Amino acid sequence: MGLRIGDTAPNFQADTTEGKIDFHEWLGDSWGILYSHPADFTPVCTTEIGRTAQLKDEFAKRNTKVAVVSVDDVKSHNEWKKDVNETQNTTVEFPIIGDENRVVANLYDMIHENASATATVRSVFFIGPDKKIKASITYPASTGRNFAEILRVIDSLQLTAKHQVATPADWKFGEDVIITPAVKDEEIAAKFPKGHTIIKPYLRTTPQPE
């Protein structure tokens, strides 16, 4: 059975394009994203690695570190980085993990044998500062990830970790949020001074707290 929300993200030590890391130590007090790509020198992955590098400032603004894993070795990763930097007009500075023995891929259940016995699917794990898995998304190898959605999920996770709110369908940063059922009506004014709207007794909205 794969990892679930609330599970501790497995720790590991690995060689990467940025040197050897202990994953939990490397994360420190930051939020983290760990995602997999099927192989080096492949077209969709090249765009994804490039997009991650282009969003460096967006991840930093969210106190979020990103690491990538595939079943290729670090030497291959470093050669491939040159192509990514050239074709995507960027500079890759985050760690790409060498996992030729599939240690990390197996820890995180990234190889789905009905899809491929050797290549990883496009898994995304969102990890909190407490090293717990907060969310995960899985795409097939043929579908490139939506990085706007990845950033949106981080924004939602960080907001809801701090306040007693949830984010509605299609929510974007800055839009109204939902007050969770755990907050009693008489508590709302003190907790959410920006005001609130009662649509139904179970559906109460308020401007985003931050």
Write down the pLDDT at residue 7: 96
Domain residue extents for the chain: 13-145, 163-206
CA proximity to 121, closest of 108, 134, 103, 135: 108
State the CATH architecture for 163-206: 2-Layer Sandwich (3.30)
Which is it for strands 31-36 and 19-22: parallel, antiparallel or unpaired? Answer: unpaired
Q: Is the dihedral of CA 174, 175, 180, 184 positive or negative?
A: positive
pLDDT of residue 62: 98
**Model pLDDT, residue 28:** 98
Choosing from 9, 45, 127, 178, the catalytic residue is 45
Report pLDDT digits (tens) over 144-187. 999 999 999 999 999 999 999 999 999 999 999 999 999 999 99
Distance CA 61, CA 59 (A): 5
What SS3 state is found at 6?
coil
The angle formed by the CA atoms of residues 111, 113 and 115, to the nearest 5 degrees, is: 90
Is 17 part of the annotated catalytic residue set?
A: no
User: CA 26, 120, 21 angle in degrees (round to 5)?
Assistant: 15
pLDDT digits over 48-73, tens only? 999 999 999 999 999 999 999 988 99
Q: Cα separations (Å) of 165 from 36, 105, 178, 183, 193?
A: 30, 34, 5, 9, 14
Q: Which residues contact 206 (CB under 8 A, 6 or more apart)?
A: 165, 176, 177, 179, 188, 192, 194, 195, 196, 197
Beta-sheet pairing, 122-127 with 31-36: antiparallel
Pick the CATH number of 13-145 from 3.40.30.10, 3.30.70.1290, 3.30.70.20, 3.40.50.150: 3.40.30.10
| Both structure tokens of 135 | 């969310």
Phi-psi region of 55 (alpha: psi -120 to 50; beta: other; left: phi over 0): alpha
Which pTM was predicted? 0.93
| pLDDT, tens digit (0-9, with 9 covering 90-100), for 73-127 | 999 999 999 999 999 999 999 999 999 888 998 899 887 665 554 566 688 999 9
- Please tell me if the domain spanning 13-145 has the same topology as the one spanning 163-206: no
Q: Which of 90, 88, 85, 208 lies closest to 152, judged by CA?
A: 208
DSSP string of 65-110, one letter each residue: EEEEEESS-HHHHHHHHHHHHHHHTS---S-EEE-TT-HHHHHTT-
- The pLDDT tens digits for 31-43 are 999 998 888 999 9
Q: Give the separation between CA 24 and CA 40, rounded to whole angstroms.
A: 25
